[in-house]
Every structure is written in structure tokens, then in C-alpha cells.
Amino acid sequence: MSEKIPVQNVEPETVEFDLYEKRKKIYTRAVSGFFQKIRTRALWILMLGYFLTPWFNWHDRQGVLFDLPARQFHIFGITFFPQDFFLLAWVLIICAFGLFFVTTLFGRVWCGYTCPQTVWTMVFMWIEEKTEGSRNARMKLDKEPMSKSKFIKKFNKHSLWILFGWLTGLTFVGYFTPVRELVVDLFTFQAHPWAYFWVAFFTGATYLFAGWMREQVCTYMCPYARFQAVMFDPDTMVISYDYNRGEKRGPRKRSADPKEQGLGDCIDCNLCVHVCPAGIDIRDGLQYQCIGCALCVDACDSIMDKMGYERGLVSYTTERRLEGKTSHIMRPKAIGYAMCMLVVVTAFLYFAGDREALGLDVIRDRNRLFNTTPSGMIENIYTIKVINMDQAAHDFEISVSGLDNMNMIGRKNVKVNAGEVRTVPFSIQVPPTALNEQRNTIFFKVESQDPNYPVEKITESRFIGPVSK
């Protein structure tokens, strides 16, 4: 007979946690090394590009200017119009596939080296270190009661943060408003109220995101941190800790033999944690908070150099390499992303090259269906917009067809400058006998008068007459 097992009531363990836990401030330690030098150089390139680009002129206008009121977007020698916005969709698709391709190969290098949130946070952290001191000094300062010295340091830090945020906001608005006029108008209080609003808005956003939220933007707000795992595979280059080499962790003297003490190469100094802007421990494995900045790699390499150990305890590597297997750079997923990106780039170049250099918009006056002139003619009023998308001025001739005995009243020959939208009012008069229906189809044609620039554009419109009896 089998023995009965006594039944006992087991209470499940209750674990309490706060869904809205207060952010714990991360005090990062400065470190130098190979990857930090790359990040610093990338920062300088991106910052100089961002702040200086609006100040470059192209001929008689700002080189890069997104003129929303005029609905013209100037990028040096090219002017885009609203009808070219389909090209923006292609650009976004190219960027998406490019990001997928790079992420599949090298992980989150975009986040670690070129993301605006990372770049601006680096600047704000540098300002914080210069005004408040090193990691230990900042931790000590925050624990101290308010004093004159502490107030001055905090005031200087936040003042520089706000100043840099203001320069960021001013520059951003300068991409949409001529920056030279904007600066003068802001300081003379002649700028439009919306200019003041947007400069203040982006100043506050920069101050908040780069100064206060920092890693929270990457952890909670950025969707890239959440779906990046879909693009990772065992051959993706990521920052990893070599568990087999590093364990068992423990401190030791520099002259000691770790094997005799049963220790691995990790001396458990926690420097990799102290330098991490996300505040994570890379030794716990790959985590979605990791932005791939490689500061922990430089920190660990510096310790390995001091201990006389081989570098690479924390390094850019793949899961397969950590397992002692061969890693492959090009694989089906990466090749698929590359092929998709090649197709999209080819399509973009085709559509951009096939982009019409002449645009024509015809707007019929709808306030009245038609007018009857004293001579008995039926008249419709139109507004014609001739869009010259070429980089040189050209002379154009406007004509109309579709009905017999049409009389076109208005300026038929116009000169349109490069990137200009020329508005020309017209009236079309037709004898009643030429109208077979109430709604009649007519065609407006704009044709270049330059034999070296043979372009034309035809647009269909309607001519409204009286109801047929």
C-alpha cells in the first residue's frame, strides 16, 4: 500500500513593487579610451553640422531652409515642393532599412554614437562634470545641505544647460526661418510670437530630455529599445561580458595569480557600472537598456591594462564567439535587409531623377460659376500657378485649348525665377455657341521658351457655362 503524502497549505510569497518608482540618479564616471574617442569625434562632427548648416548660403538664399509659408524646401542646390513629398517617404524607408541592416550587423551603434539624445546627453554630462566635479564629488555635493558653494555650482550647471538648450532651439527654428533675420529679430523683439514660442519650446525640451531624463528617454520613450531584439541574432555584434573568462569574480593583488586563487579575470571593481550612462551592469548579460556606447569596454580595458591581463573581457563580440563557434558577418537576414535597401535606393534615385522640373496648378474661381460680359461672352476666372523647379530662371508661355473661339485675357508670357511659384490671374471668354455642355473640359499648357530647356506641362480644368436649354 502506498504511503500518503500529507497536504499542507502553502501561502504564495507576496512581492511588492512600485510601478511608478522614483528615478534613481545615475552618477557616471569619466573614462577615456578607443571607443570614447570615436564617440567624441562623432559628437563634434554632428554638432558642427547641426549648428553651422543653417549659416551656409547657397547663391542668394540660405543653403538649407524649410520655408513652410512658401511651401518650398531648399537643400542647397535643390528645391522641393509639396508635390515632391512622396520622395520623403522613400527617404524614410531607406533610413528604416539602413537602420535594420546596421543593427543586424553591429547592434545599437546608432544609439551609442549618433542618436541626438545620446549626443546632447554627452554634452550635458560634460557640462555637469566641469561645473560640479568628478563622480564622487557630485555624489558628495548632492548629499550636502544647500550652501553658497553648492548653489553657485548648481546655478552654473543649470545656466549652461539652459544656454545650450537655447542655442539648440534657436538653431532648430533657424532651419525653418532665415536664421540671420531670426537672430536679429529675436534680440530686437521684432520676431513673430510663434518664433519665441518654438525657441522656448525646444529650449525646454532639450533641457528636460538631456539634462533630467537622459536614460529614461532611451528606456521608456524610445521604441527602438523595445523592438531591437527582433533584429538581433547570434551573429550580431553586441557588447558582452566574457563569463567563462571573468568568473569567478573577486579582488586580488596585481602580482597575484588569479588561477591559484580560483578567480577569473574580473576583479569586481564595478568600473563598468560606474561609467554606464544607463546604470546597468553589463556582466548581467545583454539588456534592452544598453545603448551600445562601449564606455564599459574602455573602462574594462583600462583595468585589464593595469592588471597586466589581456583586453577584451568586455568587448564587441557575438553570441557565437562567446560560445567558441565561428561567427558570420553576412547571413540571410542581413543580405535581405541589404537587398531591400538597394531596391528602395534605386527606386528613390529613379523617381528623384524623373522628377518634373515644371509644375502647373490651375484654380478656378468658385465664387461665381460664370460671368456674362456686356458683349454676351461667357467668362470664367482662373488663377494659374507656374512652378519653376529648375535652378535657373526661365521664360514660359501660357496657352489654353479645348473649346472653339476661346479668348484668353491675361499675361501669356511670364518669367519665373529658380524655385519660384509665379501666380498669374486669367479670365477665359467663350461665345455661348461654342459651349455644348454646362461643364466643359479645357486644357492649360505652360511651355518653356528656351530651346535648351524644352519642358512643358499640361493641366486639365473645367469651364462652366449656363444650363443648356
Residues listed for the chain: 469
Please, which residues have CB within 8 angstroms of residue 259's CB and are 6 or more apart in sequence?
A: none
Whole-angstrom distance, CA of residue 338 vs CA of residue 330: 10
What is the full per-residue pLDDT of the chain (469 aa) written as tens digits?
555 556 666 566 665 655 556 778 899 999 999 999 999 999 999 999 999 999 999 888 899 999 988 888 889 878 888 878 888 889 999 999 999 999 999 999 999 999 999 999 999 999 999 999 999 999 999 999 999 999 999 999 999 999 999 999 999 999 999 999 999 999 999 999 999 999 999 999 999 999 999 999 988 888 887 777 788 889 999 999 999 999 999 999 998 888 889 999 999 999 999 999 999 999 998 888 899 999 999 999 999 999 999 999 999 999 999 888 888 888 899 999 999 999 999 999 988 888 878 889 999 988 888 999 999 999 999 999 998 888 788 999 999 999 999 999 999 999 998 878 899 999 999 999 888 889 999 999 999 988 888 899 999 999 999 876 5
Residue among 289, 315, 297, 293 at smallest CA distance from 229 = 289
Cα-flanking dihedrals φ and ψ of residue 361, to 5°? -120, 130
Whole-angstrom distance, CA of residue 56 vs CA of residue 62: 6
Cell 476661346 belongs to which residue? Answer: 406
Whole-angstrom distance, CA of residue 329 vs CA of residue 166: 43
pLDDT of residue 451: 86
Beta bridge partners of 316: 239
Pairing verdict, β 72-75 and 439-448: unpaired
Please, which residues have CB within 8 angstroms of residue 41's CB and are 6 or more apart in sequence?
A: none
Whole-angstrom distance, CA of residue 184 vs CA of residue 198: 16
Q: Kindly tell me the number of DSSP H helices and DSSP E strands found in the chain.
A: 15, 16
pLDDT of residue 23: 74
Whole-angstrom distance, CA of residue 15 vs CA of residue 26: 25
pLDDT of residue 8: 60
The CA-CA-CA angle for residues 273, 277, 282, to 5°, reads 40
Residue among 266, 236, 226 at smallest CA distance from 250 = 266
pLDDT of residue 223: 84
Is CATH 2.60.40.10 the right assignment for the domain spanning 358-464? Answer: yes
pLDDT of residue 353: 81
Please, which residues have CB within 8 angstroms of residue 68's CB and are 6 or more apart in sequence?
A: 176
Q: What is the pTM of this model?
A: 0.81
Cβ atoms 241, 282 nearer than 8 A: yes
Domain definitions of the chain by residue range: 238-323, 358-464
